[in-house]
Amino acid sequence: MLQSKLFYKTSKEVSVEEKSVNAQLLTRAGFIDKLMAGVYTFLPLGFKVYKKIENIIREEINAVGGQEILMPALHPKEPWETTGRWAAVREMFKTKSQTGGDYGLGWTHEEIVTPLAKKFFNSYKDFPFALYQIQTKFRDELRVKSGLLRGREFAMKDLYSFHTNEKDLDNYYEKVKEAYFKIFNRVGLGQRTYLTFASGGAFSKYSHEFQTVTPAGEDIIYLCDKCKIAVNKEIIGESKESCVQCGNKNLKEEKAIEVGNIFKLKDKFTKAFGYNFKDKDGKEKQVIMGCYGIGLGRVMGAVVEVYHDKDGIIWPPEIAPYNVHLIALKSGDDSLDKKIEKKTFDLYESLQKKGIEVLYDDRQEVSAGVKLKESDLIGIPVRLIISEKTVVKDSAEFKKRDSKDAELVKINKIAKLLNG
Ligand code: ATP
Ligand code: MG
């Protein structure tokens, strides 16, 4: 991508009400634009990151047998009345049609997916199966001061699994847990994300959250350094904190962001919708369910909260908008500048041919200082500079965003270094 054509604009400051680090940096670097509190546009740079997160999630959920579907965001009232959540859930946005009917905007999809599954699969032979979508949710959240961490409109991956018995649900639940660890490792949050025991409500003793430790977190967790798991303060209270696995009383209190959760719903929704299956013995029995969520924007926001410095964002390689930020710096000498431009453009093309994604800062009228500042702000993992100093040696300056050291690398060695 030529930076001269990229739809973005960096800024030094953002509005004072934008308090969170993720919204500040993502806005200043031109990744997102705020429409109103809790509602953002993803600009080209931001959308590239979003798509990479989406694809990682898709790959790992496909790998545990999830089948992707896309359910509507606009819902009728009736299934929500069946479960009692139409009246009970204040976060649900509700709207009236001009013809008088009541509709709601989906903030989760148990009320849609359960009747859907019931329509299609009813024999023990059909089970187990799992359906998921990556789709927009709407929630009338009270506190929307955390940028992408808490939106009123946001993308979620929601997976629902259907089983004929608890053992099967338990097995699948463990598989999804592993898939979640893979996902959080790949997006770069693995080191700081802990399986956290949280309240399971009426159906099971615990549910599990995946909590990323950072000062920006809204949740408080107690972390066991031995087991590398945590418990959420909400369920255990401050008084009797101890590790649910080893009993360790020496837990570390941390702020954390819930980036995902997994939940055994058991028969909560299948009972409400009368979803049974016909077993081998010909008898009708209750289907049971699990549900599993990850917020895409919340993951992106959490990554920025964890990976930044005073100069800007530091993207983990697998979700960076580009692999390389290639920058041409002018010398002031016309013939030398032509050479710099040609070398840089040739490198841009050859890297792209090798499948490396390059943002090429080809802008003519922009100073070296501004180019370098913007590069740090945007946070692409590798920066390559071709300038007067490097071009005479047929080289480029190679620097990683998370390192202070730069080195001169021969241009014909760069692709290998990047793919290495
Ligand atoms: P929280 O306690 O933070 O409000 P939740 O319990 O309401 O989260 P779920 O309904 O289980 O969350 O949603 C599944 C996932 O969707 C969460 O783990 C989180 O990653 C994401 N998520 C939930 N609410 C939001 C939101 N308002 N904005 C962005 N992502 C969200
Ligand atoms: Mg919530």
Give the pLDDT score at 160: 98
- For atom 27 of ligand 1, which residue has the closest CA? 150
How far is the CA of 152 from the CAs of 45, 107, 390, in angstroms?
Answer: 22, 9, 49
**Ligand nearest the Cα atom of residue 139:** 1
Spatial distance between the Cα atoms of 73 and 26, rounded to a whole number of angstroms: 27
- The predicted structure's pLDDT at residue 237: 64
Question: Distances from the Cα of 118 to the Cαs of 19, 110, 230, 271, 360, in angstroms?
Answer: 45, 12, 36, 11, 52
- The count of residues in the chain is 420
**Token duo for residue 215:** 């000062």
Look at residue 247 in the predicted model and tell me its pLDDT: 87
Q: Which ligand is nearest to the CA of 261?
A: 1
Ligand 1 nearest atom to the CA of residue 107, by list position: 10
The residue whose CA has the least distance to atom 28 of ligand 1 is 150
* 15-66 confidence digits (pLDDT tens): 788 889 999 999 999 999 999 999 999 999 999 999 999 999 999 999 999 9
* Residue nearest to ligand 1 atom 29, measured at CA: 150
What ligand has the least distance to the C-alpha of 137? 1
Residue 295 CA to ligand 1 center (angstroms) comes to 6
Q: What residues are in contact with ligand 1 under a 6 Å CB criterion?
A: 108, 139, 141, 150-151, 154, 156, 258-261, 293-295, 297-298
Torsion of CA 301, 38, 46, 292, to 10 degrees: 60
Q: Whose CA is nearest to atom 31 of ligand 1?
A: 295
By most ligand atoms within 8 Å of CB, the mutation choice from 158, 298, 303 for ligand 1 is 298
> Residue of the nearest CA to atom 13 in ligand 1?
293
Neighbours of 63 (CB within 10 A): 12
- CA-nearest residue for atom 25, ligand 1, is 150
CA dihedral sign, ordered 415, 417, 418, 420: positive
Global pTM value? 0.97
Task: Report how far apart, in Å, the C-alpha atoms of 198 and of each of 109, 218, 222, 401 are.
Answer: 21, 15, 11, 36
The DSSP secondary structure of 248-287, one letter per residue, reads ---PEEEEEEEEEEEEEEETHHHHHTT-EEE-TTS-EEE-
User: One digit per residue, pLDDT tens: the chain, 420 residues?
Assistant: 999 999 999 998 887 888 899 999 999 999 999 999 999 999 999 999 999 999 999 999 999 999 999 999 999 999 999 999 999 999 999 999 999 999 999 999 999 999 999 999 999 999 999 999 999 999 999 989 999 999 999 999 999 999 999 999 999 999 999 999 999 999 999 999 999 999 876 567 789 999 999 999 999 999 999 999 999 988 976 556 788 889 888 999 999 999 999 999 999 999 999 999 999 999 999 999 999 999 999 999 999 999 999 999 999 999 999 999 999 999 999 999 999 999 999 999 999 999 999 999 999 999 999 999 999 999 999 999 999 999 999 999 999 999 999 999 999 999 999 987
Distance (Å, whole) CA 123 – CA 277: 5
Tell me what pLDDT residue 238 has.
57
Residues forming beta bridges with residue 385, ordered by sequence position: 327, 397
- How many whole angstroms from 39 Cα to the centroid of ligand 1? 15
**Considering every ligand atom, which ligand is closest to the CA of 151?**
1
